Chain A
Amino acid sequence: AQSVAQPEDQVNVAEGNPLTVKCTYSVSGNPYLFWYVQYPNRGLQFLLKYITGDNLVKGSYGFEAEFNKSQTSFHLKKPSALVSDSALYFCAAYNTDKLIFGTGTRLQVFP
């Protein structure tokens, strides 16, 4: 069965420090992978995607993600966290016209 796992319910990081939000996937064929962010009482916003090509993908708001085929991972990263990055982050994988979502990771950035 196709699945996406986000092993951490919450990640805490101090402002200015680097952040990583983890995601692993299990899909057949070539994986198409995505990160979304959800701010309180809002819909999901698309951050970035990996379809093919360079394993390091850059997206909105200074975020990037590293695709690692051998570890079946697609971790979200940012070199220097901002308090305004505090939100709920979802990893997703494409499967036959649908997206499979992870359960989400809440990122808290402390001043």
Chain B
Amino acid sequence: NAGVTQTPKFQVLKTGQSMTLQCAQDMNHNSMYWYRQDPGMGLRLIYYSASEGTTDKGEVPNGYNVSRLNKREFSLRLESAAPSQTSVYFCASRQLSGQTYEQYFGPGTRLTVT
């Protein structure tokens, strides 16, 4: 079991460029999440997908779009990158059953926008 995987690990973009961050999980989880982590601010939710075919905005969705491609994969797209989107991005997943409320995280993507 690889758990939650993310690609790429690192990326440098120029302002205005676009890119897609990929996330996949092999745990057959229903829900998937995208967070950004910035110093002193903890983790902030960008978008989430409670189940295949649904997506919802989180706390900081502006400048991002998502696609829940299938049950395994959930991608995050930056259409026109801005320096304010320099951050570490984490994908997470969660099984919707019983008292399983915890989420499991990928290793992260470190993005720098110049």
Residues 48-72 of chain A: 1 if any B CB is under 8 Å from the residue's CB, otherwise 0?
Answer: 0101100000000000000000000
Residues 15-26 of chain B: 1 if any A CB is under 8 Å from the residue's CB, otherwise 0?
Answer: 000000000000
Which of the 9-residue segments A14-22, A79-87, A100-108 touches chain B?
A100-108
Question: A45: CB under 8 A from chain B?
Answer: yes
| A44 CB contacts on chain B under 8 angstroms | 43, 90, 92, 105
Q: Is the CB of B42 within 8 A of A97?
A: no
Give me the interface of B with A, judged by CB distance under 8 Å: 4, 31, 33, 40-45, 48, 50, 58, 90, 92, 99, 101-108
| 14 contacting pairs across A/B (C-beta < 8 A) | A34-B101, A34-B102, A41-B108, A43-B105, A43-B106, A43-B107, A44-B90, A45-B105, A46-B103, A94-B101, A97-B48, A98-B33, A98-B48, A101-B43
The A/B interface has a contact count, at CB < 8 Å, of: 48
Nearest CB of B to A88, in Å: 10
The 10 A-B pairs with the shortest beta carbon distances in the complex, nearest first, are A43-B105, A103-B42, A101-B42, A44-B105, A101-B43, A94-B101, A43-B107, A46-B102, A51-B99, A32-B101
